[in-house]
Structure 1
Amino acid sequence: MAKKRTSGGTPATVTLDRAGIAYEVRAYEHDPAATSYGLEAASALGVPPERVFKTLLVDTDKGLGVGIVPVDRLLDLKAVAAALGAKKATMADPAVAERVTGYVVGGISPVGQKKALPTILDASALQHATILVSGGKRGLDIELAPGDLVKVTRGSTAPVAREA
């Protein structure tokens, strides 16, 4: 997979370029009326939802963390807490998520966040050669190998998704 640079880029693409990680930019026309950013991306890009992952911030007794799960599934809060070494987790307040990551809700990328947070990618990602995650703004995804995502985020994998 070749790198595709966007003019100026986003913090996510800049971080991937600096790390020498191959990725592909996948842009689409975002519909402001969409009720699910992730399912909108999957549909617009013609990619099965199990290959498109959403980035969710959680608040734990150990601090903030990131859970990355397929867009057609939910984040299992007990599982992500355990994977992060915490006793419990709740979804982070959206305003906190935006402030800490530097991205807007619906465009939060796991890559290039303002503050590096402990990150857990759902283990189902490893079943795919490539997955898509937000590229740092609504209407922009990046496609990359799951192992490269774990590497660049200094994260790990665990089964943290559950049925919707």
Structure 2
Amino acid sequence: MSKRAKRKVSEASTPAIAQLEAAGIEFATYEYEHSADHMEGGYGREAAAKLGIDPRQVYKTLMADTGDERVIAVVPVSGRLNLKALAAAVGAKKARLADTRTAQRESGYVVGGISPFGQRNAHRTVLDDGALHFERILVSGGKRGFDVALAPADLLNILGASTAPLAEA
């Protein structure tokens, strides 16, 4: 995996890439042709299938609302977000998925391309602890058909994120 520091941050293709380049960490980009009628399993499963990568290593970014704040959950595409576990991880009584319009407005990205990086509004982020079993995970790079691979520790450091068991099979 190559470091993408040769390109100036101002020339980055997405805000996510700009944030990663500014942080100076190693990451790799993966592109695939997104199908307008994405695969039945969702955008993340489409990415895993088209890139030939284990779905347990490809992560989706979801926005949830606890009533007091919006939080970001990063979970494997092979599982589902356990909202009770997310609420517990952030010290809330409950959590529910934010509606699509809110997620798009606050993140600055379209659904299927929401990255945990470079969001319009910063949110507390929780990464499923299963990510720590992998040297690299893939997350959206900020648009459909565009992912970035990086070490889970780098995601945690850049975003000041925490980990918790969030995914259920």
TM-score category of the 2 structures, normalised to the smaller one: over 0.9
Q: Does 1:16 align with 2:20?
A: yes
For 1:39, which of 45, 53, 61 is the aligned residue? 45
Which residue of 2 is the match for residue 85 of structure 1? 91
Gaps of 5+ in 1: none
C-alpha deviation, 1:115, in angstroms:
1.0
Structure 1 range deviating more: 73-82 or 31-40: 31-40
Q: Does 1:119 align with 2:125?
A: yes
Gaps of 5+ in 2: none
Deviations 1:3-52 (A, max 9, x none): 23776320000000001111001000001111310000001111000000
Q: Does 1:156 align with 2:162?
A: yes
Secondary structure at 1:29 match in 2: coil
Give the CA RMSD over aligned residues: 1.2
Secondary structure at 1:119 match in 2: strand
Normalised by the size of structure 2, how large is the TM-score?
0.93
Distance 1:128 1:43 in 2: 18
Aligned residues: 163
Task: Report if aligned partners of 2:32, 2:51 keep a CA contact under 8 Å in 1.
Answer: yes
**AA aligned opposite 1:9:** S
**1:31-110 equivalent positions in 2, closer than 5 A:** 31-34=35-38, 35=40, 36-110=42-116
Secondary structure at 2:45 match in 1: helix
Distance 1:154 1:32 in 2: 34
Identity in percent: 50
For 1:141, which of 133, 147, 153 is the aligned residue? 147
C-alpha deviation, 1:62, in angstroms:
2.3
**AA aligned opposite 2:116:** P
Structure 1 range deviating more: 61-70 or 130-139: 61-70
Distance 2:16 2:43 in 1: 18
Deviations 1:76-106 (A, max 9, x none): 0000011111110000011000000000000
